């Protein structure tokens, strides 16, 4: 491949559509005679519905239906009879399945009317009676009821407990994170267009159109060929669209029952009634020698889950791989509560586990009297000890070096509370980040139009990272074309199979498929040119396609133009499925980062402001540094919010989130953010995939919360081990 397109900061190919308002999102697609649905949610956390009085609502002109468990269409009866690519172990929740209430906020009815305003007003007139049962929503009260998570944790190595007991330096620490919610800009919505033949065309907010298609077909017992899901544009998701959310089956059930198109959009408050990053309590024990070299490590996690599913993440595993330690014991348990099942949320597990590990490593550095960067270099892991494998590539040392230099880490005064500007205490903190570099099977199709435009297609979607742009770059690079002549089609369940967009594996998975499809198309073009009697090629000569022509080697005089080939052969296309390479199996693979943070803490008020961040990232080959930088910026901002602001306030008497709006559930805004510098460390990886790319969606957030917390300690001398770090805790 040439380097004309890859690695260039190409503007987003869909940017003009988005900024001009021409990009249509799930709730913006028109349909004839479209009806609108408004969801009614449970006000109790556990119990059952005893009666539904919808007479006042149905008496209103224009109200078409009050859908509930009493009158819904048929639904799959067997808990295991439908697929969901991101489902947890257990019995998946199905809205309106029966009278049982499993959590506060559970959808219990859908009011459908001519307008959204009428549907919402009618919903306020529906009277639902409940038989309430005792509930439990407080993780702290349920710690003793936790059971082992159905996760494949690495087996203990060595004798961690024994070694820690005899270590010169011993730390025993506890950290806690609250529930956090995704809150993408676009709320979840589904526009179900009921077609004349009874099939459904659905515009859904999802991270996987084919996953939503399978789910809807299975749970409502429909022929998959009669369900088509489109998600051309997605206004952010961060994991909230990995599982089909309840507006999708509700809208589909209403459309099937009424044989009319229906749209259901969740309110911002209802965005608090499904998945979230789970509250977790983490215990760490570290044993080290006087220099801070780890001798033993124990990381135990208890996180909340629902009573009907065991949601698991990779929380503790990172502690067994990020630093070299021969004696490690990891444990992960789940406490079932009367809540909805948690859901993957940007860097699931890693953002949680690394907050605790990297805070603990900072505490170890202070205990040993060692610079935090030096402590991490002292404990640097050359291999992944969890897997017993070397890394396909690892430039973490360069992240430390380049990040520290750009940040000015050497200017740090070691003592807490020793740096100040007026009444502002200044603190420096840092942390390491890591995220697994995965690749999933994926398919893509490449074809030329009659006028020579390249069309590449895959059923992936674009939740905001710039997927359409980088796939355009990959395709253009392979075939030596100008990106303006390439169109990437996505967000449609009818396109070649693709995995969910998540886990930072879209470029490595779908990008590899796009590359292979374009190579296969080039081969077809060369073969077609070879079969042309008038072609000016020597017998058996090597041919290649580039820049709109098939030519013999480097001899531009021996060439056939693409336009001539297409005129002779008509459309040419190739479709392939890309698989992870066998060479990956011998190696561990991961992205790494080093995050450096400066905070200012008002000594009198306890307010914290992050003034500077430097994030140095090693993630293989960066296809588009502009869109990749934006991903890291977003991750850093989210990490700052995780450290200082984000917290779901649960009233455990009601079992309900009380700050269920964006006025009271605090997230960072522009005024909260100081200077952020992103450094992409050069990292060449010929093993990970032919593109050499690892993905950058998650790595930007990992470690940021710990770096902020460590900086706050350096500024104030106070160690806050319960996020978020708010002024009441500091004062």
Give the active site residues: 698
CA terminus-to-terminus distance, the chain: 58
3-state secondary structure 345-403: CCCCCHHHHHHHHHHHHHHHHHHHCCCHHHHHHHCECCEECCCCEEECCCCHHHHHHHH
Contact 297, 303 (CB under 8 A): no
Question: Got the DSSP string for 271-328?
Answer: GGSS--BPPEEEEEEEEE-TT--EEEEEEEEEEEEESSEE-----SGGGGTSB--SSE
**What is d(CA 269, CA 306) in angstroms, rounded to the nearest whole number?**
20
- Measured CA to CA in angstroms, residue 339 lies from 45, 587, 646, 647 at distances of 7, 39, 19, 16
CA dihedral of residues 23, 694, 723, 381 (deg, nearest 10)? 180
**What is d(CA 435, CA 635) in angstroms, rounded to the nearest whole number?**
13
Q: Nearest-CA neighbor of 667 among 642, 632, 635, 636?
A: 642
Q: Nearest-CA neighbor of 240 among 616, 500, 559, 568?
A: 500
**What is d(CA 498, CA 211) in angstroms, rounded to the nearest whole number?**
10
Q: Residue 43: what are its φ and ψ, rounded to 5°?
A: -100, 0
**What is d(CA 676, CA 407) in angstroms, rounded to the nearest whole number?**
10
DSSP 409: G
Contact 174, 339 (CB under 8 A): no
């Amino acid at each position: 491949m040439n380097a004309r397109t890859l690695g260039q900061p190409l503007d987003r190919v869909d940017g003009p559509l988005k900024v001009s308002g021409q990009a249509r999102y799930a709730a913006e697609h028109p349909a004839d005679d479209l009806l609108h649905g408004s969801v009614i949610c449970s006000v109790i956390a556990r119990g059952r519905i005893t009666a539904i009085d919808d007479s006042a609502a149905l008496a209103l002109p224009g109200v078409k239906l009050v859908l509930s468990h009493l009158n819904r269409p048929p639904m799959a009866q067997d808990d295991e009879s439908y697929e969901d690519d991101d489902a947890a172990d257990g019995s998946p929740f199905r809205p309106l399945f029966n009278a049982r209430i499993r959590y506060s906020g559970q959808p219990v009815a859908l009011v459908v009317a001519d307008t959204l305003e009428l549907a919402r007003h009618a919903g306020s007139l529906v009277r639902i009676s409940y038989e309430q049962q005792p509930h439990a929503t407080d993780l702290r009260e349920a710690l003793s009821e936790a059971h082992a998570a159905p996760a494949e944790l690495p087996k203990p190595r060595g004798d961690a407990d024994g070694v820690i007991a005899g270590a010169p330096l011993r730390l025993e620490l506890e950290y806690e994170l609250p529930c956090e919610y995704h809150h993408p800009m676009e709320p979840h919505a589904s526009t179900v267009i009921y077609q004349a033949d009874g099939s459904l065309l659905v515009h859904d907010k999802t991270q996987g159109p084919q996953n939503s298609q399978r789910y809807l077909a299975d749970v409502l017992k429909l022929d998959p060929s009669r369900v088509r899901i489109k998600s051309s544009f997605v206004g952010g998701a961060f994991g909230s669209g990995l599982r089909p959310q309840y507006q999708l089956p509700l809208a589909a059930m209403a459309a099937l029952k009424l044989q009319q198109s229906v749209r259901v959009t969740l309110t911002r408050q209802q965005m608090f009634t499904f998945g979230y990053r789970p509250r977790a309590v983490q215990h760490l024990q570290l044993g080290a020698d006087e220099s801070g070299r780890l001798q033993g490590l124990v990381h135990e996690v208890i996180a909340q889950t629902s009573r009907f599913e065991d949601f698991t993440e990779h929380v503790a595993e990172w502690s067994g791989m990020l630093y070299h330690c021969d004696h490690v014991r990891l444990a992960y348990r789940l406490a079932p509560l009367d809540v909805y099942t948690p859901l993957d949320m940007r860097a699931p597990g890693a953002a949680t586990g690394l907050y605790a590990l990297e805070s603990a490593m900072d505490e170890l550095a202070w205990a040993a009297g060692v610079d935090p960067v030096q402590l991490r270099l002292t404990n640097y892991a050359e291999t992944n000890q969890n897997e017993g494998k070397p890394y396909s590539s690892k430039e973490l040392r360069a992240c430390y070096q380049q990040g520290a230099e750009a940040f000015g880490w050497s200017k740090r005064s070691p003592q807490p509370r020793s740096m100040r500007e007026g009444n502002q205490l200044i603190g420096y903190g840092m942390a390491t980040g890591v995220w697994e570099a995965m690749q999933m099977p994926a398919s893509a199709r490449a074809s030329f139009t009659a006028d020579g435009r390249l069309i590449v297609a895959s059923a992936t979607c674009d939740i905001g990272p710039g997927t359409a742009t980088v796939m355009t770059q990959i395709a253009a690079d392979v075939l030596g074309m100008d990106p303006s002549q390439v169109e990437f089609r996505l967000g449609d369940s009818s396109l070649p199979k693709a995995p969910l967009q998540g886990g930072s594996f879209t470029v490595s998975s779908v990008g590899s498929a796009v590359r292979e499809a374009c190579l296969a198309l080039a081969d077809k073009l060369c073969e077609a040119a070879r079969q042309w009697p008038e072609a000016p090629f020597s017998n058996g000569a090597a041919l290649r396609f580039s820049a709109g022509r098939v030519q013999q080697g480097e001899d531009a005089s021996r060439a056939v133009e693409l336009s001539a080939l297409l005129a002779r052969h008509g459309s040419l296309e190739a479709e392939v499925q890309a698989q992870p390479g066998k060479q990956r199996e011998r190696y561990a693979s991961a992205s790494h980062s080093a995050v450096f943070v400066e905070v200012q803490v008002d000594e009198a008020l306890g307010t914290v402001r992050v003034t500077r961040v430097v994030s140095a990232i090693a993630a293989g080959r960066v296809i588009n540094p502009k869109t990749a930088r934006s991903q890291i910026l977003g991750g850093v901002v989210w990490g700052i919010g995780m450290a200082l602001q984000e917290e779901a306030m649960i009233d455990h008497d009601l079992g309900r989130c009380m700050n269920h709006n964006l006025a009271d559930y605090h997230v960072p805004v522009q005024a909260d953010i100081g200077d952020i510098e992103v450094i992409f460390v050069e990292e060449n990886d010929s093993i990970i995939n032919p593109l050499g790319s690892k993905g950058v969606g998650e790595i930007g957030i990992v470690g940021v919360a710990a770096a902020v917390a460590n900086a706050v300690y350096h500024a104030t001398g106070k160690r806050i081990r319960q996020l978020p770090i708010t002024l009441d805790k500091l004062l």
